[in-house]
Amino acid sequence: MKTRQLGTSGLEVSALGLGCMGMSHGFGPAADTREMVKLIRTAVERGVTFFDTAEVYGPFTNERLVGEALEPLRDQVVIATKFGFNTTVPGTGGGLNSRPENIRAVAEASLKRLRTDRIDLFYQHRVDPSVPIEDVAGTVKDLIAEGKVKHFGLSEAGVQIIRRAHAVQPVTALQSEYSLFWREPEAEILPVLEELGIGFVPFSPLGRGFLTGKIDEHTEFDKTDFRNTLPRFNPENRKANQALVDLLGRIAHAKQATPAQVALAWLLAQKPWIAPIPGTTKLPRLEENLGAVDLELTAADLRHIEEAAAHITIQGERYSPAAQQMINR
């Protein structure tokens, strides 16, 4: 497995990480714990060193799963988790909460659930407009000084928030959605990250499964799958957006690869400090995703993708209006 540095922080991770949310939360019923422990440990055997979770996934159950799986392998891996939601109401985020006392409480609880003495990368899950980002960064800075946290991250933060936070405590990584299905970060975010030496961790690098080519307008999701609430995933938009999957399929055929591998290889080719975190609950999909690390897209391939994608207009918003309100831009 190839490795990458997240910006100039010195934090080295596998070129592809593993997003663990879907094992417990978001995409239907939780998967079998024993099977997911096995999957996570198999990922480590395959060279994955970067694992992503959050207290709100479940809530709490995903951190416990990751903690159980990685406890015997702790010194071989980088564990990222997140704070920033109220988790007082089971099964809901309960609203934003990045007050310093909550950040500290989450850190202590996450350490216990993750069965570890330090959190390698601690993200603010969503920007909380009621708490100055300087207070957030300062609290994490204190946790770093205490040895409980190693690195500070932000998620879905805008340019000014990134700059203000970074001035208090250097930001190691920004985690936001980025893929051929959602390219908004290219306009303002990526240049600022490059300027400041901050790494980028794209979540949903396969467009929540859409870019794998396994989903079409006839696909029916489990009633608890949150994709049912996303405008981009209504049947009409899925049908319209199939053009992007068809493009990936053509490239994949020429490369003797899969659409998912092409989508991930495209992301890896954008910047050397990008480390995507595709999620899966299936070993064959894990193996498929990891194959993207060795898939070389030439300059001509990348130009072809760029030129063809420019003629495809993605249909549908990526979040519902209520969810969109929690994203700072």
The span from the CA of 22 to the CA of 282, in Å, is: 11
Q: Is 158 in a helix, a strand, or coil?
A: coil
Element (H, E) at 309: helix 299-309
Q: Would you call 57 a catalytic residue per the annotation?
A: yes
Instruction: Give backbone dihedrals phi and psi of 170, rounded to 5 degrees, phi first.
Output: -50, 130
Please say whether the beta carbons of 128 and 96 come within 8 A: yes
Residues 57, 123, 178, 319: which is the catalytic one? 57
The span from the CA of 265 to the CA of 289, in Å, is: 9
Residue 275, sorted as left (phi over 0), alpha (psi -120 to 50) or beta, turns out to be beta
Three-state SS string across 190-253, please?
Answer: HHHHHHHCCEEEEECCCCCCHHHCCCCCCCCCCCCEHHHHCHHHCHHHHHHHHHHHHHHHHHHH
Q: Which residues are catalytic?
A: 57
